[in-house]
Amino acid sequence: MPVKQIKKWIAEHREPLTRAACVAFSLGCAYLLFRFFSLEWNYLLYGLAAAAGAYAMRAALRCRDRRTWAVFAVFAAFFSAALVLGRRIDEEAAEFLGLSASDAVYWLVFTAFFAALFVTVSRWLRAHPLPPLGVLKPEPVSSRLLSWASWTGIVALGFLLYYFVYFPALMTGDSFACYVRAAGIAPISNQQPVVFQLILAAFVALGNAFGEPNAGVAFYALFQLLCMASIFGYSLYWMRRRACPRPVLVLLALWFGFTPLHGMYAVTIWKDVPFGGVVLLLVLFLADVVRTGGKSLLRWQGVVHFVLLCLACAFLRNNGLYLLVCVFLVAGMQLRAHWKRLVPVFLSLLVVIWGIQGPLYSALGYAQSPFAESLAIPLQQMARVVSRDGVISDEQAEYLDRLLPLETQKEAYWAFTADRIKFHADFDDEFLEANKSGFFSTWFGMLFPNFKEYVIAFLMETAGYWRLGTTNWIVAEGIVGYGDTYGIEPENLSERLTGTDLRPVLQEDAEKLQTGDLTAPLYNIASMVWLVFLALALLLARRQEKGALFLVPLLALWATTMIAAPTYCELRYLYAFFTAAPAVVWLALPRRGDAARSPAKGVKPPKS
């Protein structure tokens, strides 16, 4: 058959051929999904998965917008890589099993499949936009305060349940590291945020007036839960003002107030809890900056609001300053027309924060955080090379042996945490502090000869922050570790009042929710991380780069965690993702008028 006739025949039958290709690809992709996830074979489920894949593929091919395809192709490539790499991590053995040719096939097929799926989802969302955020309708101050107070009350009611069950509070080793400094048992140090210790110290002093160690802890836990309830209540009020449906808000209020994650965190003495609340407020503020075109940041009220949030971020977590630097850089680029007013604010904040955390802390005798605290990933990488008898020069071996004897490193190394290295009794912190340049030269000198081991060490140490399904403990089980030492004992007021100990019930519920088929994603760190990246992709696909400003605090928090994570999977480090998730989803969804502001090929604007 002549070539021209073949081309003509293909052109005449383009639609059925395209459908057939989509069906064939989807059948193969569904089969690979069953194999990849080791699912029990089910013809009905297989048929439904293949049909859904064929529909998504065909719908995606109707999209002619190159930007949409490019954005979701990149997103799908990284997402698929996370799935493929994640499957090669054996959590029980704490080992990376290596890659094979079949993994490359999985990655290519999944990339195509998920790109088509997310393109289809994006097109559907853009065809069904929500009302624009626009200008807020005037509302009396009394009505706004009542709304805020009402939502806060619902959340606080749930938190009080956990407070009575776990009275005086939930505490772990990290909690006691702050408590001993707040109580004056150990000197204040910036290894834990100084401001958090000073706030806790005020409540410990108040408790001492009652002559009862539990009292200070109880007072602080009550203060923290009221602050968190107020923050969550404000976020719900904020979303109501921006046309979020009331049934959704009610569900979110119950989610914030009564689920074990938020309820138990509200009464756990961790710096990460208030920090997660402050990051949520910063996300909401930056969303308003986007909505108003920067005007909310140019008014003096907005500047004060912004400065207070930035100071809270910087002084409640030691990586808060790096988060702010990212926010300043992105906001400065997006609002460069107002640089004369914004740059002085940004620079002043950086100078003030540095001046307090540096010279002022030193003058007050507050020790800085140990250098090893920021070196978890490099320490793990070098320790893995040592444990695998990798390529190490004599000079490098001498340095590492001074840091921690090589045989000890081999015994102490565990792929999922650097704590066994940096907190080892024989680890020489003084030598590290005096030889910082030697550390980096040793690390860099070992990089290329041991590149594979470095990559594996990084993947294992950060697994929980990108690998779906990775689990670890997420809530404290009580007053763990040092309660007897410092006289802090659980009292369980709920058992006194009702005769029933609810602690095992709530603990079991938390574990079930973390492993349940439907609820597990809501309690999984990587799920929330990928949700935020999907929100970013949705915005970029709609040409709303400026709209992504509100995601910068979360993305920066994730990036700093990936650089310095001390252990592979601790939800509290990224608790801010769980506090901000509802607002992120609400803000990332398309709005009427988006298409008019940033038209895209292949997407028809909705009829007015």
Q: Is residue 471 a part of any domain in this protein?
A: no
Residue 68 has pLDDT above 50, yes or no: yes
Helix axes 141-165, 213-241, angle to 10 degrees: 140
Verify that 167 and 199 share a domain, yes or no: yes
Predicted confidence at residue 134, as pLDDT, reads 66
Average confidence (pLDDT) over 284-305:
92
Based on its alpha-carbon atoms, the radius of gyration of the chain, rounded to whole angstroms, reads 27
What Cα–Cα distance (Å) separates residue 596 from each residue in 70, 121, 133, 289, 499? 21, 20, 15, 21, 62
Which pair of structure tokens corresponds to residue 13? 């039958």
**C-alpha–C-alpha distance, residues 433 and 340, integer Å:** 40
Residue with tokens 């950060």: 462
Main-chain phi, psi angles of 171, to 5 degrees: -140, 145
Predicted confidence at residue 595, as pLDDT, reads 53
Q: Is residue 472 a part of any domain in this protein?
A: no
Verify that 85 and 117 share a domain, yes or no: yes
Average confidence (pLDDT) over 426-452:
95
Residue 607 has pLDDT above 90, yes or no: no
Q: Is residue 144 a part of any domain in this protein?
A: no
**C-alpha–C-alpha distance, residues 470 and 515, integer Å:** 10
Predicted confidence at residue 606, as pLDDT, reads 39
pLDDT digit string, tens, across residues 78-95? 999 999 999 999 999 999
| H-state helical runs in 542-593 | 552-564, 575-588
**C-alpha–C-alpha distance, residues 226 and 153, integer Å:** 9
Helix (H, G, I), strand (E, B) or coil at 479: strand
Q: Is residue 598 a part of any domain in this protein?
A: no
| Cα angle value 167/172/177 (rounded, 5°) | 115
Q: Is residue 241 a part of any domain in this protein?
A: yes
Predicted confidence at residue 13, as pLDDT, reads 67
Average confidence (pLDDT) over 478-507:
82
Is 568 within 8 Å of 461 (Cβ atoms)? yes
Verify that 348 and 385 share a domain, yes or no: no
Verify that 414 and 456 share a domain, yes or no: yes
Predicted confidence at residue 38, as pLDDT, reads 86
Would you list the DSSP string of 45-63? Answer: HHHHHHHHHHHHHHHHHT-
Residue (of 227, 212, 224) closest to 267 by Cα position: 224
Which pair of structure tokens corresponds to residue 481? 């570790």
Q: What residues make up the domain containing 70?
A: 3-129
12 vs 203, residue with greater confidence: 203
**C-alpha–C-alpha distance, residues 287 and 588, integer Å:** 10
Predicted confidence at residue 1, as pLDDT, reads 54
Q: Kindly indicate the confidence band of residue 12, based on its pLDDT and cuts at 50, 70 and 90.
A: low
Which pair of structure tokens corresponds to residue 98? 């290596």
Q: Kindly indicate the confidence band of residue 39, based on its pLDDT and cuts at 50, 70 and 90.
A: confident
Residue (of 277, 287, 232) closest to 588 by Cα position: 287
pLDDT digit string, tens, across residues 202-259? 999 999 998 888 999 999 999 999 999 999 999 999 999 988 999 999 999 999 999 9
Provide the 10 A C-beta neighbour count for residue 125. Answer: 16
pLDDT digit string, tens, across residues 143-164? 999 999 999 999 999 999 999 9
| H-state helical runs in 335-422 | 339-355, 361-363, 376-387, 394-403, 406-412, 419-422
For residue 96, the surrounding DSSP H or E stretch is strand 95-96
For residue 90, the surrounding DSSP H or E stretch is strand 89-90
Is 86 within 8 Å of 467 (Cβ atoms)? yes
Verify that 250 and 347 share a domain, yes or no: yes
**C-alpha–C-alpha distance, residues 581 and 75, integer Å:** 19
**C-alpha–C-alpha distance, residues 25 and 99, integer Å:** 24
Which pair of structure tokens corresponds to residue 276? 């997660």
**C-alpha–C-alpha distance, residues 126 and 133, integer Å:** 15
Residue 608 has pLDDT above 70, yes or no: no
Among candidate residues 461, 492, 525, the one where a domain is terminated: 461
Predicted confidence at residue 604, as pLDDT, reads 46
Residue (of 126, 71, 133) closest to 287 by Cα position: 133
**C-alpha–C-alpha distance, residues 407 and 401, integer Å:** 9
Q: Kindly indicate the confidence band of residue 510, based on its pLDDT and cuts at 50, 70 and 90.
A: confident
Q: Kindly indicate the confidence band of residue 22, based on its pLDDT and cuts at 50, 70 and 90.
A: confident
**C-alpha–C-alpha distance, residues 231 and 233, integer Å:** 5
Is 386 within 8 Å of 392 (Cβ atoms)? yes
Q: Is residue 103 a part of any domain in this protein?
A: yes
Verify that 103 and 20 share a domain, yes or no: yes
pLDDT digit string, tens, across residues 549-561? 999 999 999 999 9
Beta-carbon contacts of 415 under 8 Å, excluding residues fewer than 6 positions away, are 94, 95, 96, 380, 384, 457, 460, 461, 568
| Burial readout 267-282 (b: 16 or more C-beta within 10 A, e: otherwise) | bbbbbbbbbbbbbbbb
Residue 605 has pLDDT above 60, yes or no: no
Beta-carbon contacts of 90 under 8 Å, excluding residues fewer than 6 positions away, are 96, 97
Lowest mean pLDDT, pick from 19-33, 102-116, 125-139, 313-327 = 125-139
Q: Is residue 301 a part of any domain in this protein?
A: yes
pLDDT digit string, tens, across residues 383-419? 999 999 999 999 999 999 999 999 999 999 999 999 9
Residue 596 has pLDDT above 80, yes or no: no
Give the chain's count of helices (H) and strands (E).
Answer: 31, 2
Residue (of 448, 459, 458, 523) closest to 84 by Cα position: 459
Is 239 within 8 Å of 232 (Cβ atoms)? no
Verify that 317 and 305 share a domain, yes or no: yes
Verify that 407 and 526 share a domain, yes or no: no
Q: Is residue 603 a part of any domain in this protein?
A: no
Is 34 within 8 Å of 47 (Cβ atoms)? no
Provide the 10 A C-beta neighbour count for residue 168. Answer: 26
Among candidate residues 114, 129, 144, the one where a domain is terminated: 129
Q: Tell me how many domains the chain contains.
A: 3
Sign of the torsion angle spanned by Cα atoms 373, 527, 557, 259:
negative
41 vs 86, residue with greater confidence: 86
Verify that 9 and 98 share a domain, yes or no: yes
Verify that 393 and 275 share a domain, yes or no: no
Query: Mean pLDDT across the chain, nearest whole number?
Result: 91
pLDDT digit string, tens, across residues 97-110? 999 999 999 999 99
Verify that 250 and 350 share a domain, yes or no: yes
Residue 518 has pLDDT above 70, yes or no: yes
In sequence order, what are the beta bridge partners of 171? 479
Verify that 364 and 391 share a domain, yes or no: no
